[in-house]
């Protein structure tokens, strides 16, 4: 077995393994993390060893341990068959599942020393991909080296023998981790032919880890971009979502665009690279979009939100209606109604990628509303206009705040300050009205049941019309007392009868 060195002695004492002399800090990270998970891996390793099987901590778990960021999800690979693994795990913990058995994976949940660990153990793999296939033909292997060479990148193709604490690195992942480079264990052409989704994974890891993608990998991505089309929409959607939820998705998105992969999975993004006319000037829409995404992520953090896929998709797609609506009017370029067109294009694309329905609806609403604020920045709004803004945003109000603020990328400091102050004023007015009128729960003065009781009618279309009338009155004039609302409804009903 190649590139192996002892990582830590069984009694926990550090052992020097100088594969790369400059990696002392990385070694320390790894040993610290392995000691932290010792309550799990010691017992698990003993169980598999006594049964005559090999067991390795592998892939992302080893990479993250070397980086000092190992979480509570632990990935292992083993010489044991799925059935043997399942039997052993049931002796280790009562919480097991075999939903991935057909792919050789058995899962378990283990509680140890007041911590909870999610464990997945997969039999050595030697999968085969056909040129026209979207899924691998599952085949099990018999060596750790054979398993590791099938993995996506060298930094994910390292393992630690749980029993002996021996470090296994046959493809130079440790050096690449130190150098911050993404390379494939086999040739990138062979790797991407096996599983084309790895090309998108390169973009995700470049963003997540801040690594450079090796030139030969970029070249293979460019030459083999069309092979991404055999991958299912579900897998592409999951990988794109993972990329967008990193701290710096811009790097990965740029890579997908420059290699031509985005042309095939998200063509609306590279289409934003509009040719700039030297006379009819407008900002670079593509670069503007990536800056808006950066700023939306910063606002998420500043406003105390977790990474939000809807917010990031809306930032990424908010201007995709511009290529279809670009018009030259003398020295000026216009994009009239690009918000409406963009919402429709986003809906179509996100549905094609099988994003959840609510995600699609939320992103489309934000794109459709993202220009609404500019009416406020150009002139005073009445209270009714502010209420309507809140009503139309609905549950997406906070996201609309972030998208609208992020959409300001002007280099004109005076204009940027004016827009920022205008939006701060709008948010202040929303808060003021909310405290006075329960604006966040903007509803008509009467609900459907009360409307039917006042008018003496049953359920039907008229109830909806009455509801819409009262909601519009509430938006335009603010709240009124119950008795006044009843009188308003009766007058509306009488007027309707006269017509």
d(CA 51, CA 49): 5
Prediction pTM value = 0.80
CATH code of 1-179, in short, is: 3.30.460.10
pLDDT, residue 137, reads 66
Q: According to the per-residue pLDDT averaged within each range, which of 126-135, 345-354, 444-453 is highest?
A: 345-354
On the question of pLDDT at 232 being above 50, the answer is yes
SS (H, E, C) the chain: CCCEEECECCCCCECCCCCCHHHHHHHHHHHHHHHHCHHHHHHHHHHHHHCCCCEEEECHHHHHHHHCCCCCEEEEEECCCHHHHHHHHHHHCCEEECCCHHHCEEEEEEEECCEEEEEEEEECECCECCCCCCCCECCECCCHHHHHCCCCCHHHCCEEECCCCEEECCCCHHHHHHHCEECCCCCHHHHHHHCCHHHHHHHHHHHHHCCEECHHHHHHHHHCHHHHHHCCHHHHHHHHHHHHCCCCHHHHHHHHHHCCCHHHHCCCCHHHCCCCCCCCCCCCHHHHHHHHHHHHHHHHHHCCCCCCHHHHHHHHHCCCCHHHHCEEECCEEECCCHHHHHHHHHHHHHHHCCCCHHHHHHHHHHHHHCCCHHHHHCCCCCHHHHHHHHHHHHHHHHHHHHHHHHCCCCCCHHHHHHHHHHHHHHHHHHHHHHHHHCHHHCCCCCCHHHHHHHHCCCCCHHHHHHHHHHHHHHHHHCCCCHHHHHHHHHHHHHHHHHC
- 149-153, 397-401, 439-443, 469-473: segment of lowest average pLDDT: 439-443
The more confident residue out of 105 and 450 is 105
- 185-199, 368-382, 426-440, 466-480: segment of lowest average pLDDT: 426-440
On the question of pLDDT at 221 being above 80, the answer is yes
| Nearest residue to 454 via CA among 495, 496, 482 | 482
d(CA 148, CA 124): 9
On the question of pLDDT at 394 being above 80, the answer is yes
| pLDDT tens digits, one per residue of 140-194 | 878 999 999 999 999 999 999 998 888 999 999 999 999 999 999 999 999 999 8
On the question of pLDDT at 479 being above 90, the answer is no
| pLDDT tens digits, one per residue of 306-326 | 999 999 999 999 999 999 998
On the question of pLDDT at 247 being above 80, the answer is yes
On the question of pLDDT at 22 being above 60, the answer is no
Cβ neighbour number for residue 252 with a 10 Å cutoff:
25
- 136-145, 149-158, 341-350, 358-367: segment of lowest average pLDDT: 136-145
Question: Was domain 181-265 assigned CATH 3.40.830.10?
Answer: no
On the question of pLDDT at 329 being above 60, the answer is yes
Cβ neighbour number for residue 244 with a 10 Å cutoff:
22
Compute the average pLDDT of residues 373-383.
72
On the question of pLDDT at 13 being above 50, the answer is no
Domain range annotation of the chain: 1-179, 181-265, 273-441, 448-498
d(CA 58, CA 75): 6
pLDDT, residue 58, reads 96
pLDDT, residue 10, reads 36
pLDDT, residue 456, reads 85
Compute the average pLDDT of residues 459-470.
81
On the question of pLDDT at 376 being above 80, the answer is no
d(CA 303, CA 306): 9
pLDDT, residue 154, reads 97
The more confident residue out of 99 and 107 is 107
pLDDT, residue 194, reads 87
CATH code of 273-441, in short, is: 1.10.3210
Helix axes 397-406, 285-302, angle to 10 degrees: 130
On the question of pLDDT at 57 being above 90, the answer is yes
Cβ neighbour number for residue 45 with a 10 Å cutoff:
23
Question: Do residues 375 and 381 lie in contact, with contact meaning Cβ atoms separated by under 8 Å?
Answer: yes
| pLDDT tens digits, one per residue of 288-298 | 999 999 999 99
Question: Do residues 20 and 9 lie in contact, with contact meaning Cβ atoms separated by under 8 Å?
Answer: no
- Four-point Cα dihedral 22, 28, 29, 31, nearest 10: 130
pLDDT, residue 384, reads 80
Question: Do residues 20 and 174 lie in contact, with contact meaning Cβ atoms separated by under 8 Å?
Answer: yes
Per-residue pLDDT band for 420 (boundaries 50, 70, 90) equals confident
pLDDT, residue 283, reads 66
Compute the average pLDDT of residues 438-464.
73
């Amino acid at each position: 077995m190649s590139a192996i060195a002892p990582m830590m002695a069984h009694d926990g004492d550090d052992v020097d393994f100088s594969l790369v002399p400059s990696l002392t800090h990385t070694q320390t990270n790894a040993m610290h993390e392995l000691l932290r998970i010792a309550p799990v891996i010691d017992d698990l390793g003993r169980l598999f060893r006594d049964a005559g099987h090999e067991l390795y901590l592998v892939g992302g778990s080893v990479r993250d341990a070397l980086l000092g960021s190992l979480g509570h999800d632990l990935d292992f690979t083993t010489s044991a068959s799925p059935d043997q693994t399942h039997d052993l795990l049931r002796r280790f913990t009562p919480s097991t599942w075999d939903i991935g058995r057909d792919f050789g994976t058995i899962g378990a949940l283990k509680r140890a020393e007041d911590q909870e660990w999610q464990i997945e153990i997969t039999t050595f793999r030697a999968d085969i991909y056909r040129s026209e296939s979207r899924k691998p033909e599952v085949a099990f292997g018999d060596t750790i080296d054979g398993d590791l060479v099938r993995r996506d990148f060298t930094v994910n193709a390292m393992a630690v023998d749980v029993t002996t604490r021996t470090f296994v690195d046959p493809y130079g992942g440790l050096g690449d981790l130190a150098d911050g480079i993404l390379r494939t264990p086999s040739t990138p052409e062979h790797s991407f032919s096996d599983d084309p989704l790895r090309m998108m994974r390169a973009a995700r890891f470049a963003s997540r880890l801040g690594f450079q993608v090796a030139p030969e990998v970029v070249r293979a991505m460019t030459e083999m971009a069309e092979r991404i089309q055999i991958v299912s929409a579900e897998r592409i959607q999951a990988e794109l979502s993972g990329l967008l939820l990193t701290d710096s998705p811009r790097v990965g998105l740029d890579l997908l665009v420059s290699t031509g992969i985005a042309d095939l999975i998200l063509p609306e993004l590279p289409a934003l690279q509009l040719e700039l006319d030297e006379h009819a000037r407008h900002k670079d829409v593509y670069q503007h979009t990536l800056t808006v995404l950066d700023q939306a992520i910063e606002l998420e953090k500043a406003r105390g939100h977790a990474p939000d896929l809807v917010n990031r998709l809306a930032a990424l797609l908010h201007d995709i209606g511009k290529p279809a609506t670009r018009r030259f009017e003398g020295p000026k370029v216009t994009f009239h109604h690009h918000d409406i067109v963009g919402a429709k294009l986003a809906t179509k694309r996100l549905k094609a990628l099988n994003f959840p329905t609510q995600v699609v609806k939320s992103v489309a609403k934000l794109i459709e509303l993202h220009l609404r604020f500019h009416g406020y920045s150009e002139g005073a709004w009445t209270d009714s206009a502010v209420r309507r803004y809140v009503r139309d945003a609905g549950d997406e109000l906070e996201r609309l705040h972030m998208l609208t603020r992020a959409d300001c990328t002007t280099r004109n400091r005076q204009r940027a300050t004016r827009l920022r102050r205008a939006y701060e004023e709008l948010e202040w007015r929303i808060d003021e009205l909310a405290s006075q009128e329960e604006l966040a729960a903007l509803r008509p003065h009467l609900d459907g049941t009360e409307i039917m009781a006042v008018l003496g009618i049953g359920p039907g279309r008229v109830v909806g019309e009455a509801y819409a009338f009262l909601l519009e009155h509430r938006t335009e004039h603010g709240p009124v007392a119950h008795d006044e609302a009843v009188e308003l409804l009766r007058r509306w009903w009488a007027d309707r009868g006269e017509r």
